Structure 1
Amino acid sequence: MQRILSRTRLRAGNEAAYDAVHAAVPPALAERLRAAGVHDWTIWRDGQDLVHLVEVEDYRAMRRSLADDPVNAEWQATINPLLEADDDYSGGDDGLPRVWSLAAQLDGAAP
């Protein structure tokens, strides 16, 4: 399983709206995420900055499977206007690069 960290940024003034739509994502979206291999997706917000921790079987495969999914497209149509940059699920990103891990260091593994 992969643990992917990424970040996004809200357009100014959209903090409350973003929090409100995430009070509970649509059940159909939650089902699509789970079917795409997502075990958990946690989001923290600091003002306009959002930090996402995605625990998933294969991050790139998940994004490819959701790129043309109509349920995800509907969700993105709700979320993208709140963000400074749209996410169309294209590209081959791997999230933020990990610099250091205590567990990896103690276990002798690479970062």
Structure 2
Amino acid sequence: MNRIALHTVLREGAQEQYDRVHATIPTELRAALIEAGVHQWRIWRDGVHLFHLVDVEDYRAMRDALRDHPANVPWQARMAELLAVADDYSGTDDGLGLVWELTPRDDRPAA
């Protein structure tokens, strides 16, 4: 399982529209994401900055599976209208690099 963090940037003024579009993800796209190995996809927004956390079986395989998927192509076209830089969906990226992570210490008793 991969946990991938992503950062994308909206065009100025597209924040409310982006939120509205994401209020209801098309059923076909949801099914395609799950079929491509996505277990969970969360997005946080701070102004025009979007931070994604994706739990997926294989990130690059997911990108490959969705690149030309009939449910994803129109979705990506819609997102391209809202993003400052459109995603080329090449699937060659690995997301953001992990800098630091807090993990529970094994030597402490459970509360």
Give the secondary structure class of the aligned counterpart of 2:86: coil
TM-score (norm 2): 0.90
TM-score (norm 1): 0.90
Pick closer, same or farther for the CA change 1:54–1:36 going to 2, 3 Å.
same
The residue that corresponds to 1:34 in the other structure is 34
Displacement of 1:91? 4.0
What is the percentage of aligned positions where both structures have the same residue?
Answer: 56
Q: For 1:7-26, what aligned pairs fall within 5 Å after superposition?
A: 7-26=7-26
The structure number with the bigger radius of gyration is 2
Q: For 1:45-64, what aligned pairs fall within 5 Å after superposition?
A: 45-64=45-64
The residue that corresponds to 1:72 in the other structure is 72
Give the secondary structure class of the aligned counterpart of 2:29: helix
CA–CA distance in structure 2, aligned partners of residues 62 and 42 of structure 1: 16
Displacement of 1:68? 1.0
Displacement of 1:101? 1.4
- Point out where structure 1 has 5 or more consecutive residues left out of the alignment: none
Higher share of residues assigned helix: 1
CA–CA distance in structure 2, aligned partners of residues 91 and 101 of structure 1: 25
- Point out where structure 2 has 5 or more consecutive residues left out of the alignment: 107-111
How many residues are paired up? 106
